[in-house]
């Protein structure tokens, strides 16, 4: 049987695997890495039931020693993930291991006693889990030789059905991503693993944990330490289990059409996160994991449902006509296969990077006739195995082979069949063989086919549809070419030249350095060969013996840094150039087309990745002049592509045609950067966007010459009805077409654009056109016209003009249009010359020549979507025009819809026209115009549109025809209250009109109704609606005419000034309304009139209102009059405000002082004289304000005004009275005046400077800056006295007295007083020093110390420097310490005599007094009193401060 499927350029053929006869196929599985297929069968012969597992290679060939047979059935089997090793579970509980190239398999009877139901390997194959139907689960370790060692076994209550191991960690970054995410969520185990301070616990590449499921719906987890625990009980039989490693999710599909998702952590506990009811008619028959969270299911339906676990969405794949019962997905081919009940296989292709319905494309269906229960793709190879119980078939996908030799095209149409198609004269023939065709070629009238081992040769006569087998021989070769009567077969390290019977006529040996031939191509008599070690060799086969025509070319020397993989080589018709298609690696195509110039040994080419020619490269680039190579720049049409097929013209050595396709995007590389993985785990790296859909392939024609290199001539898109370009033969391109039941021919020819109308011309004309195209490409216009001067055909000139679209030569195009007589095109081209973009001008040329696709491409490339839109409209492509306007040309969107509406109107499609008019927002005029002769249709449209403006227009139309009731209805619908009220008034329905006007509050409606009511004598109602209409002039007129005096003021206040004056005059003539007249005069701007009337009528409240609205622009005389009025009526505050407003500030101040009115901040702020006022006046004003504020106790405001007056001394005095120390210090610092410094220092001395060092520093600083050293000396003297009185610290007092002496010495003062102060300070210093010396001598000589103290007591004026109490106290303590209580008591009596009111314990410690009392039996008074000399120094300071402050 033949099974055909055209997938881009592929055909499927089947091979039945050779299993035992009379057997039933129960299981099959492919190896995940190698093309090994294991098939389990149940054999029924001679009344014995045995079981066999057979191993097959590739297309169904059995392996030697690849069969295992037992007297029971195989019930489960699974390939090792990396080794050629198969683990099988049998019905008797045996575990059998088959290892490739080992004679005997390994049978393990231990572990199970019942049928094995589960066999599962870990990701790298170091652990195996097996389970049976009685609930026994066994964990095995697999060593390097494939031997199993039992690790652990478990017994559960029901049999096991599934086991899934954790996927391997491909990088530590991926593992750390999950760890980081878990740590962020608070998982302590993950925190420990990621903590660098703790020992590393991170698993390596293989994770040995797994989940297992049993028949009762229980799911268990088994960790790396083989600890098992129950996780989830689904209570339903489980169909499939999948692990979504990227999301850390376990997906379980149940037989009852339910899918449950569980998240898992590093402890492998499961948490349910989603539960979905799957659609379907019954239970799930098949469920498979596709990729990246996609799961495909089949549930007794004619569709395949795909579920996206990541997005919680689903979609359907259609194409099946019957129930789908099994599924399989090939990740390598990105193809999903679905098996139907009837035996068909449906296939869909998945586009990389996309995960929605649009990413799947239906490919084909293959009919296998017999229904099958299981299909499975081989992982890395294009093989699909199908099990229909009785047979196992392997479908093999291979590219379609083809050949073209300028006369005949040969195409494979099936695995056993080829089609021969002759073009002149037309003829078609099919040729069938019994061999799977792997390759085909043609030599003269002979067809050669092969399949890597066998070659068959037919002599054919296509016209007569006759074939004759003339040769059949064996040859181990996958690459062959033929020329005349010779077949060239590529074999190991040689090429054999054979006749059609297989006899070797000549051998072309390859050296060991060159290697074996991999690719061959022959054109005419020239043969090129590429070897396994990178050598390119060329031969001439014309002579009797084939000889090498050029030295070998080592391509690898020209690609030293690249892993060059040659995909194809093609030689031109004269053997001078070889086109090479390569790949950077086995999976990464090279975007370059490389051309080897055989004679000069130079490499040139074209880079389709960048869209521009390559510069010469290789070892002999010096032989090529770089100035001759033409740089055409980059081409967007050819950029980001790579070549997949190339073909030379069989007669012109310059012409090379290439099919190019999109460069596949690199697969997503796993991120190994730890920090980046952590960021990804924390959600800091954005998800990748969806990849765009692929572009169609392009066909590129090139000129390849020695002088100018590789030049781009033309590029066009491959027709969607074609599969592949296969050949060029000027003027034709040849393509393999997609299968069509109505067309037998598989190869179609398409004329070159340059030769339209010249397909059947003579060879001379063809050559002239080809020369013209070449000269145009290199820009040589003279030679181009010289080439075609003999051609007089108008078609030629038209083709030349079309070529100008490609070359963008508008000057040549103008000449061509002239020869064509194309006046309209010439004028359009001249008008388009105003466009700034070259492509826009070329696009107009393309339009005139009917090349709309080229024009479309040109306009898009220069982003002239406005011109593209116009072209679409002119060419009646309205859907494209509207789409362009909506996306790129929105400025012309409404115009586009309008033009489309006109088009639809002219074509009679009124409904489409209406829709377009609405989108162009012209429907309110255009639709009534269009339907003006069809009133019912127009009324129906108006009603359906629910457009208020249209309804309003229709109501006006009805009103004009006298149809008032319908008009009222449509006016209500359109909310045109004015027109509605007008019609109601016309019909005399005043009440309803009043209701409408009140509800709508429409001013025009209210005004119209007011006039009608006034006309009808309903003045009160008219007033109401005039007010609602803000027609206050009408309202005031009605009030005056009808004596509505109380209502008049309400409307007059909102009316115009003229109306206000009229109403005020009206009120003047009426008693008891003078206040309203004043108010209206004032409102109308006649303030003087209003004030005069208020004065005359003594309208005090009105006057208050008027003056409250006066501002600085008011008439000064009016303001003064008002102020005097309020002054006479003892409204002093209001009078002051008006005087200030009238800029009579001194009068305002006098009132404040005389009437004791407190000045406010706002008053002072408003008393700012103009800048052009006399400075003396301004100074006087500010001082008066300051004095007024000073007298009122507003010291800060006084300070501010004294400062503005320039009198800083008064400002400082005001500030001193405020007591604001912070501002005093600041003001003194910024004033920089001697007197102010002294005043500030004197003020600070009154504060508690003893507790605040900053105040003390400021005092010293201010006295110093104020050069008042005598005051500073007094301050230091006071400091010394404080140290003595408060702390008895004579050392610090001595320092302060020394500073005081320094200051008084430098002070400028009365000489006698200065000398007196100096003597006084010196005496104090002397006494203090003596007392300090006496105390210091005490430790060395106590008697001497006492003598000095006694001497001090006799010194004159000692009390002014040293307190006598301190001396007596020091001496008393000495005598008490020496038990001389009598002497101490005597000294205390002397102290009492000198200081009668002093308390003894102030100077002598109480403990010493107690000792004297106890030893002498006397009573001493101990009441604490301030010593009489305390504060002596402070009184002097106070006197000094008083003197300065005064």
Interval 1385-1426: pLDDT, tens = 888 888 888 888 778 778 888 888 888 888 887 877 654 444
Q: How confident is the model at residue 769 (pLDDT cuts 50, 70, 90)?
A: confident
Query: Closest Cα partner for 845 from 890, 814, 881?
Result: 814
Residue 665 has pLDDT above 80, yes or no: no
Q: How confident is the model at residue 901 (pLDDT cuts 50, 70, 90)?
A: very high
Percent with pLDDT over 90 in the chain:
27
Residue 561 has pLDDT above 70, yes or no: no
Average of per-residue pLDDT values in the chain: 81
Interval 975-1004: pLDDT, tens = 888 888 888 888 888 888 888 888 888 888
Interval 1111-1124: pLDDT, tens = 555 556 566 666 66
Interval 517-541: pLDDT, tens = 999 999 988 999 999 988 999 999 9
Alpha-carbon gap, residue 904 to 303, rounded angstroms: 40
Query: Closest Cα partner for 1215 from 1199, 1235, 1234?
Result: 1199
Q: pTM of the prediction?
A: 0.55
Listing from the earlier edge strand, what are the strands of the sheet with 383-387? 10-16, 392-399, 383-387, 374-377
The answer to whether 1410 and 1394 are in contact (CB under 8 A) is no
Q: Please give the pLDDT value at position 3.
A: 30
Residue 682 has pLDDT above 60, yes or no: no
479, 528, 593, 619, 704 from 596: Cα distances, Å: 21, 11, 10, 12, 11
Q: Please give the pLDDT value at position 1131.
A: 62
Residue 652 has pLDDT above 80, yes or no: yes
Interval 912-950: pLDDT, tens = 998 999 899 888 888 888 888 888 888 888 888 888 888
Alpha-carbon gap, residue 719 to 637, rounded angstroms: 15
From 261-270, 897-906, 948-957, 1193-1202, the region with the lowest mean pLDDT? 1193-1202
The answer to whether 477 and 493 are in contact (CB under 8 A) is no
- Per DSSP bridges, beta strands 374-377 and 360-367 are unpaired
Count Cβ atoms within 10 A of the Cβ of residue 1099 and give its class: 0-12 exposed, 13-18 middle, 19 or more buried: buried
Q: How confident is the model at residue 1433 (pLDDT cuts 50, 70, 90)?
A: very low
Alpha-carbon gap, residue 416 to 14, rounded angstroms: 11
Q: How confident is the model at residue 355 (pLDDT cuts 50, 70, 90)?
A: low
The answer to whether 656 and 702 are in contact (CB under 8 A) is yes
Q: Please give the pLDDT value at position 327.
A: 94
Residue 692 has pLDDT above 60, yes or no: no
Q: Please give the pLDDT value at position 167.
A: 86
Angle at 44 between CA 43 and CA 49, to 5 degrees: 75
Interval 1219-1234: pLDDT, tens = 777 777 777 777 777 7
Q: How confident is the model at residue 1093 (pLDDT cuts 50, 70, 90)?
A: low
Looking at residues 558-571, what average pLDDT do you find? Answer: 78
Interval 1125-1144: pLDDT, tens = 666 566 666 666 666 665 66
Residue 119's contacts (CB-CB under 8 Å, 6 or more residues apart) are: 76, 77, 78, 87, 88, 89, 95, 128, 129, 130
Residue 48 has pLDDT above 70, yes or no: no
Angle at 1418 between CA 1413 and CA 1423, to 5 degrees: 70
Looking at residues 95-114, what average pLDDT do you find? Answer: 89
Query: Closest Cα partner for 365 from 7, 84, 673?
Result: 7
Residue 1033's contacts (CB-CB under 8 Å, 6 or more residues apart) are: 1055, 1056, 1059
Q: Please give the pLDDT value at position 685.
A: 30
Alpha-carbon gap, residue 657 to 606, rounded angstroms: 12
From 198-207, 363-372, 590-599, 1092-1101, the region with the lowest mean pLDDT? 198-207
Interval 412-453: pLDDT, tens = 988 788 999 998 889 999 999 988 888 999 998 999 999 888
Q: How confident is the model at residue 403 (pLDDT cuts 50, 70, 90)?
A: very high
Interval 451-486: pLDDT, tens = 888 999 999 999 999 999 999 999 989 899 999 999
Q: Please give the pLDDT value at position 112.
A: 93
Residue 564 has pLDDT above 70, yes or no: yes
Q: Please give the pLDDT value at position 688.
A: 33
Question: How is the chain split among helix, strand and coil, in percent rounded to 5?
Answer: 40, 30, 35
Alpha-carbon gap, residue 410 to 398, rounded angstroms: 17
Q: Please give the pLDDT value at position 1347.
A: 87
Q: How confident is the model at residue 1438 (pLDDT cuts 50, 70, 90)?
A: very low
Phi-psi region of 1001 (alpha: psi -120 to 50; beta: other; left: phi over 0): left
Torsion 70-74-76-82 (CA) sign: positive
Alpha-carbon gap, residue 1303 to 1276, rounded angstroms: 9
Interval 1022-1039: pLDDT, tens = 888 888 888 888 888 888
Q: How confident is the model at residue 131 (pLDDT cuts 50, 70, 90)?
A: very high
From 166-170, 481-485, 512-516, 880-884, the region with the lowest mean pLDDT? 166-170
From 593-597, 1137-1141, 1307-1311, 1344-1348, the region with the lowest mean pLDDT? 1137-1141
Interval 157-189: pLDDT, tens = 999 999 999 887 653 344 444 455 555 555 555
Looking at residues 751-767, what average pLDDT do you find? Answer: 81
Residue 963 carries which DSSP code? -
Residue 1283 has pLDDT above 90, yes or no: no
Alpha-helical regions (H) of 601-696: 674-681
Residue 1178 has pLDDT above 80, yes or no: no
Query: Who has greater pLDDT, 135 or 57?
Result: 135
Q: What is the CA radius of gyration of the chain?
A: 57
Dihedrals φ, ψ of 974, to 5°? -85, -5
Q: How confident is the model at residue 1069 (pLDDT cuts 50, 70, 90)?
A: confident
Q: Please give the pLDDT value at position 499.
A: 93
151, 805, 817 from 852: Cα distances, Å: 74, 11, 17
Strand partners for 387: 374, 392
For 866, the enclosing helix (H) or strand (E) is: helix 865-874
Using the structure block, give the residue that is written with the tokens 């494209």.
880
């Amino acid at each position: 049987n033949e099974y055909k499927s055209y997938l881009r350029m592929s055909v499927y053929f089947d091979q039945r695997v050779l299993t035992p006869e009379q057997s039933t196929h129960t299981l099959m599985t492919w190896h995940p890495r190698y093309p090994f297929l294991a098939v389990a069968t149940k054999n029924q012969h001679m009344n014995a039931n045995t079981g066999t597992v057979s191993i097959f290679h590739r297309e169904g060939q059995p392996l030697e020693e690849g069969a295992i047979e037992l007297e029971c059935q195989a019930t489960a089997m699974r390939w090792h993930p990396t080794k050629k090793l198969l683990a099988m579970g049998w019905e008797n509980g045996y575990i059998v291991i088959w290892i490739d190239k080992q004679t005997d398999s390994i049978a393990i009877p231990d572990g199970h006693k019942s049928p094995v139901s589960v066999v599962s390997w870990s990701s790298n194959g170091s652990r195996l889990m097996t389970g049976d139907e009685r609930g026994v689960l066994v964990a095995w370790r697999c060593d390097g030789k494939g031997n199993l060692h039992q690790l652990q076994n478990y017994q559960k209550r029901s049999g096991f059905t599934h086991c899934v191991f954790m996927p391997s960690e491909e990088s530590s970054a991926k593992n750390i991503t999950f760890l980081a995410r878990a740590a962020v969520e608070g998982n302590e185990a993950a925190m420990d693993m990621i903590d660098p301070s703790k020992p590393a616990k991170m698993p390596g590449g293989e994770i040995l944990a797994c989940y297992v499921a049993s028949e009762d719906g229980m799911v268990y987890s088994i960790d790396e330490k083989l600890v098992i625990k129950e996780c989830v009980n689904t209570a339903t039989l489980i169909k499939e289990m999948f692990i979504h490693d990227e999301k850390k999710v376990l997906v379980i599909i149940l037989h009852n059409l339910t899918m449950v998702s569980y998240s898992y952590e590093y402890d492998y506990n499961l948490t349910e996160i989603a539960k979905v009811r799957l659609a379907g008619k019954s239970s799930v028959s098949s469920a498979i994991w596709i990729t990246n969270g996609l799961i495909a299911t089949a549930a007794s339906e004619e569709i395949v449902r795909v579920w996206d676990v990541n997005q919680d969405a689903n979609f359907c794949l259609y194409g099946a006509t019957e129930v789908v019962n099994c599924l399989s997905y090939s990740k390598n081919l990105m193809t999903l296969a679905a098996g139907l009940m009837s035996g068909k296989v449906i296939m869909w292709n998945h586009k990389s990077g996309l995960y929605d319905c649009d990413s799947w494309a239906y490919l084909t269906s293959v009919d296998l006739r017999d229904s099958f229960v299981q299909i499975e793709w081989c992982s890395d190879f294009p093989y699909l195995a199908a099990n229909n119980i009785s047979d196992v078939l392997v479908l093999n996908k291979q590219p379609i082979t083809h050949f073209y030799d300028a006369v005949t095209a040969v195409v494979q149409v099936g695995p056993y069949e080829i089609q021969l198609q002759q073009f002149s004269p037309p003829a078609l023939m099919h040729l069938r063989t019994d061999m799977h065709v792997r390759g085909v070629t043609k030599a003269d009238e002979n067809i050669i086919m092969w399949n890597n081992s066998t070659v068959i040769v037919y002599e054919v006569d296509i016209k007569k549809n006759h074939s004759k087998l003339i040769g059949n021989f064996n040859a181990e070769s996958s690459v062959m070419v033929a020329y005349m009567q010779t077949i060239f077969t590529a074999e190991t390290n040689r090429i054999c030249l054979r006749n059609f019977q297989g006899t070797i006529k000549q051998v072309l040996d390859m050296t060991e350095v060159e290697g074996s031939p991999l690719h061959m191509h022959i054109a005419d008599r020239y043969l090129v060969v590429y070897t396994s070690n990178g050598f390119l060799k060329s031969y001439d086969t014309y002579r009797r013996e084939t000889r090498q025509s050029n030295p070998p070319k080592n391509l690898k020397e020209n690609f030293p840094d690249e892993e060059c993989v040659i995909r194809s080589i093609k030689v031109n018709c004269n053997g001078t150039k070889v086109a090479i298609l390569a790949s950077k690696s086995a999976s990464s195509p090279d975007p370059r087309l490389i051309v080897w110039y055989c004679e000069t040994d130079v490499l040139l080419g074209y880079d389709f990745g960048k869209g521009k020619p390559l510069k010469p490269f290789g070892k002999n680039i010096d032989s090529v002049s770089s100035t001759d190579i033409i740089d055409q720049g980059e081409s967007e049409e050819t950029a980001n592509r790579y070549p997949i097929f190339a073909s030379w013209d069989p007669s012109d050595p310059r012409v090379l045609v290439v099919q190019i396709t999109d460069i596949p995007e690199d697969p997503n590389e796993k991120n190994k950067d730890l920090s980046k993985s952590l960021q990804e785990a924390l959600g800091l790296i954005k998800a990748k966007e969806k990849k765009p859909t692929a572009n169609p392939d392009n066909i590129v024609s090139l000129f390849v010459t020695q002088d100018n290199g590789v030049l781009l001539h033309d590029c066009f898109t491959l027709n969607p009805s074609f599969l592949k370009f296969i050949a060029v033969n000027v003027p034709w391109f040849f393509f393999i077409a997609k299968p069509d039941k109505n067309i037998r021919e598989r190869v179609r020819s398409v004329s070159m654009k340059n030769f339209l109308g010249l397909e059947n011309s003579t060879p001379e004309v063809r050559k002239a056109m080809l020369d013209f195209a070449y000269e145009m490409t290199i820009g040589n216009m003279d030679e181009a016209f010289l080439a075609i001067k003999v051609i007089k055909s108008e078609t030629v000139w038209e083709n030349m003009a079309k070529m100008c679209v490609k070359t963008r030569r508008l000057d040549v195009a103008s000449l061509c249009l002239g020869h064509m007589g194309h006046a309209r095109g010439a004028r359009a081209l001249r008008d388009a010359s105003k466009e700034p973009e070259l492509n826009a001008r070329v696009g107009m040329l393309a339009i005139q020549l009917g090349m709309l696709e080229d024009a479309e491409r040109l306009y898009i490339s220069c982003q002239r979507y406005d011109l593209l839109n116009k072209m679409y409209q002119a060419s009646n492509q309205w859907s494209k025009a509207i789409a362009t306007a909506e996306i790129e040309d929105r400025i012309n969107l409404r115009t586009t819809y309008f033009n489309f509406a006109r088009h639809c109107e002219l074509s009679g499609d009124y409904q489409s026209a209406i829709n377009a008019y609405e989108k162009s927002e012209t429907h309110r005029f255009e639709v009534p115009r269009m339907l003006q002769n069809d009133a019912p249709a127009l009324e129906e449209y108006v009603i359906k549109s629910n457009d208020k403006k249209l309804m309003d227009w229709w109501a006006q139309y009805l009103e004009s025809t006298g149809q008032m009731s319908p008009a009222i209805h449509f006016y209500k619908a359109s909310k045109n209250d004015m027109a509605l009220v007008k019609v109601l008034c016309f019909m005399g329905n005043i009440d309803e009109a009043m209701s409408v006007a009140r509800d709508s509050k429409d001013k025009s409606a209210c005004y119209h109704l007011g006039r009608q009511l006034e006309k009808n004598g309903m003045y009160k109602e008219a007033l109401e609606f005039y007010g609602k209409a803000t027609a206050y002039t009408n309202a005031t007129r009605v009030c005056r005419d009808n004596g509505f005096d109380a209502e008049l003021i309400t409307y007059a206040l909102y009316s115009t000034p003229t109306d206000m004056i009229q109403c005020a005059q009206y009120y003047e003539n009426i008693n008891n309304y003078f206040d309203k007249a004043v108010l209206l005069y004032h409102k109308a701007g006649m303030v003087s009139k209003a004030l005069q009337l208020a004065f005359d009528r003594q309208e005090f409240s009105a006057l208050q209102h008027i003056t409250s609205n006066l501002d600085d622009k008011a008439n000064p005389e009016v303001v003064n009059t008002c102020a005097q009025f309020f002054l006479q009526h003892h409204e002093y505050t209001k009078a002051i405000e008006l005087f200030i407003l009238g800029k009579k500030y001194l009068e305002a101040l006098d009132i404040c002082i005389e009437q004791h009115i407190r000045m406010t901040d706002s008053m002072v702020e408003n008393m700012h004289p103009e800048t052009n006022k006399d400075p003396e006046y301004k100074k006087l004003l500010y001082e008066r304000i300051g004095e007024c504020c000073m007298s009122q106790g507003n010291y800060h405001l006084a300070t501010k005004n004294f400062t503005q007056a320039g009198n800083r001394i008064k400002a400082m005095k005001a500030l001193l009275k405020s007591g604001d120390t912070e501002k005093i210090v600041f003001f003194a610092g910024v004033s920089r005046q001697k007197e102010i410094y002294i005043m500030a220092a004197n003020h600070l001395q009154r504060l508690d400077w003893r507790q605040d060092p900053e105040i003390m520093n400021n005092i010293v600083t201010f006295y110093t800056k104020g050069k008042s050293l005598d005051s500073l000396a007094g301050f230091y003297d006071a400091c010394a006295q404080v140290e003595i009185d408060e702390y008895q610290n004579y050392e610090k007092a001595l320092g302060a007295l020394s500073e005081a002496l320094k200051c008084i010495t430098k002070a400028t003062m009365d000489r006698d007083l200065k000398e007196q102060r100096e003597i006084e300070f010196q005496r104090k210093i002397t006494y203090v020093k003596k007392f300090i010396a006496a105390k210091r001598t005490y430790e060395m000589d106590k008697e001497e110390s006492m003598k000095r103290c006694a001497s001090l007591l006799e010194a004159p004026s000692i009390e002014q420097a040293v307190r006598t109490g301190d001396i007596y106290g020091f001496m008393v303590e000495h005598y008490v310490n020496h038990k001389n209580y009598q002497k101490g008591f005597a000294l205390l009596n002397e102290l009492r005599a000198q200081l009668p009111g002093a308390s003894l314990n102030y100077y002598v410690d109480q403990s010493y007094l107690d000792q004297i009392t106890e030893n002498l039996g006397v009573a001493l008074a101990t009441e604490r009193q301030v010593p009489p000399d305390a504060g002596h120094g402070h009184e002097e300071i106070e006197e000094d401060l008083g003197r300065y402050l005064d």
